[in-house]
Structure 1
Amino acid sequence: MNQMGRYFFVISLGVMLGVSGSIVLGGKTFILNAVETAIGNDSSETGMEERGERVPLYWVAPMDPNYKRDKPGKSPMGMDLVPVYDDQDQGDTPGTVKISPDVVNNLGVKTGTVEKDTFDTTVRTVGYVQYDEDKLVHIHPRVEGWIEKLFAKSEGDRVTQGQPLYSIYSPTLVNAQQELLLAMNRGNQRLISAALERLRALQVPTEAIQSLKDTRQVSQTIILRAPQSGVLDNLQVREGMFVSPGMSMMSIGVLDHVWAVGEVFERQAALIAEGDEVRMTLDYLPEREWTGVVDYIYPSIDSETRTARVRMRFANDDLALKPGMFSQLTIMSDTTTEALQIPREALIRTGSQSRVVLALGDGKFKSIEVDVGRVGWETVEILSGLEEGDRIVTSAQFLLDSESSRTSDFRRMEHSDSAEEADDNSLVETVWVPARIEDVMPDHGMVTLSHAPIAAWNWPAMSMDFQVADTVSLEQLKDGMDIHAELERIAEDKVALRGVHVDDDKTKAPSDEGMDHGETSNAERGQQDVISHQGHATGESK
């Protein structure tokens, strides 16, 4: 029957059935079913088989491998479902999946090569510019007194060694000068030496002591001078302030060399050594780059951030680097060892296992386990599981990994020799659980069940697809039917529907009155809907 003939047939059938208007199946009129059948034959699985095409096992969402359907459609995210075929009969190893070139292109699958080369241990991080603390000097008074004159009056001022910083009046310093004069008048050399040592301990400058010895005049104020050249920082005093020992007055830092302190992850700390070359850039000076070295690696790990601090030293002759600047740091670790490595984006980490997806060619892919070594900025070291030259998937590998893991032999590889020789029945576990049939897929031997929680397996209540065992008759299962399902765990990640029991109370009607002749009574139908766990029906609805 050609396409035009089909449409005339459907229109005629619709006119005939429209007169009675009483035939309804499954919530759809027979006209709609006929239209769907007449027009959709070309896209049915029967049509695919007649054309010699492979029939998919099911369709799966590209971004959610747990979302499966027995026919094409859209995923909850609005994406086209991807067909999954059974290729195990072609001699493929467990876990091998095959997809068509069109699907490979639509998923954006990209591949890379496993290479053996010098491992790139470059570490990138950020840090802050600081003073070179080896040359940072803090100024504290050693006596109580008052600041009479402040010569360096603002932070950031450049000072030179020997430049006056402040003058101070202190009764303690006045008394110390008088003690020296008294000792000199007595001519007691021991007292003179003791008085001189006290003045030096109180930070009285040498020129002030010499002036006292020459003039024999006590100075009411003493001028303190800069111990080194640098930049004034942390100025905490003003003229007239009272100061006491231990008070922080100011600091003098040196800027011809600066530090940059950054943090690296603890897994990267082992890649860095003192003396490694470091390159530093700033966002606000993008045209410049500074080269320095790793000066020190701090011995502790921060317990909250799980990072290690690294100190780097840079020359700053033009004083362009200022304390507090935010910088990008690239640490070039010195290594010449070769290692087997893959692109970092190709690695799939599940917490307990690291995997990659092998590209076997001809649209075939397989997920395998690998042992991971060092993790660099762009590459990952592979200790075992891959060989040089292997092709691996670097993009869209998560869907392929999910499909491959369903039938792969990860679990078998983890078992010991004694476990492999154990009886397969050790994996079998059966439970009964209340459930509702959401969808029946007889062409694939599967059903969708919404079941109650299963405490024995630590499963919550959920809806999922189950393969139906040969002991269950699919003809007796209907959408919306409330049942007790016998679920059998036949592998670690595979569960099948082994038996079904239909609750009589769910099938009985309130009354048997009003039945037409030839119909089966509700009581009889309730008895007939009891299906044993072997799957044989005790009766058949008429």
Structure 2
Amino acid sequence: MMNKISFLIVFLGGLISGFLVSQYLLPAPDDQSHEVAVEHAAKHLMPGYVCPMHPGVVSNEPGSCPICGMDLEIKELSDEGSDGSGIAVSSAMSNSLGVRIAHAERGRISEQVFASGSVETVTPATVSEIKTKINGKVKEVFARVGDWVAEGEFILSIESAEFKKVQDAYLLAQKNRDYQGMKEIRKQLAAMDSRQAVLDGTDRINDMELTPEFILEAPHSGILEMSTDVGTELKINQKIARVKTDNIARVRLRSYARAARAVKRGRHAQLDLPHMPGKKWPGRVIEVEHGDAGFYSSIQADFEVPKDATERGVFVGAYVNAGTNAEALRIPSTAVILVEGQSRVVQLLSSGKFQPVDVEVGFVGAEWAEIKSGLEEGDAVVVRAQFLIDSESTLRAGFSRLAE
């Protein structure tokens, strides 16, 4: 009991002593010391000076950079960019970095891919008149009179109940592995002049499902001189198309897979014969095969050439059109930055800040890059800036420089 009373007396005595010391022995803060603290804090808010090209060179006074000799610029502190949504950059800094802006837009992306190879065959001038072997009605026309069509290219489709019935039976027999039934039905399809994809039971070349309509393909490359309009009722042995061609050189070409990955069947091409410099001969891609290893792509194409202009085995070169079939969202290819396997762009926000954005890139040509996701039409992106091409700059280093 006595120990508890003694502890309580000592504790109360300590509290009273601390109060007396704080009231009478410690000096009270005066206005002068308060002003000194305020001035010290204000110094941290005063603008400094920094080199626009070497952010590590800073000074509290005006001067020049000891590395490049450029005048130091005022580095004013700002609340902008503190929310992590971007980096605020002064106009002077932007000019020093050589920043150039472009906007995402919609348009086609095309590029000429060079490929080399040799002539496989030369076919003399041919005229083919095509007659239908089924009754039906023209549903859709894919090529117009005067068009140059490649071998195997779709000309028109025919709606025919008898063809659909036979094709459905063939596909059912294939599904049930009724090989004897497939053999018998295949003869009926062949008698209708069905295309090879129907006889195979799958369309691997065009990478599409078989349609219930009969598809008429061009028997060889050439000019479509005659066709049939949509809605025309057709009878067996009725003439529906005519394809005429001059001499055709079928060429097997080879190109790097990275360049030829956007080349597809039906794309236009131009043949260059070494012994006839300065002249180009038109053609169309027939088939494209990409190697398993991914290094090279094989391109087969037909070209219209003058009689006796070339022969089998002659080495040739050709320019093949590659790119997107329809309009796509595109930006200049110089705006795309590859960082650790991810494609990014530097976007200029409406607030004037710069921000890195991950994008999904499609076809990339020498001038334009296709953007599948990450940007919208009208978005502004940086297409050229010194910090993007400086040998010491990665994406993070570039933004560290802007943040200085």
TM class by smaller structure: 0.3 to 0.5
Query: Which one has the largest radius of gyration?
Result: 1
- State the structure with bigger RCO (CA 8 A, min sep 6), 1 or 2: 2
TM-score, length basis structure 2: 0.46
TM-score, length basis structure 1: 0.35
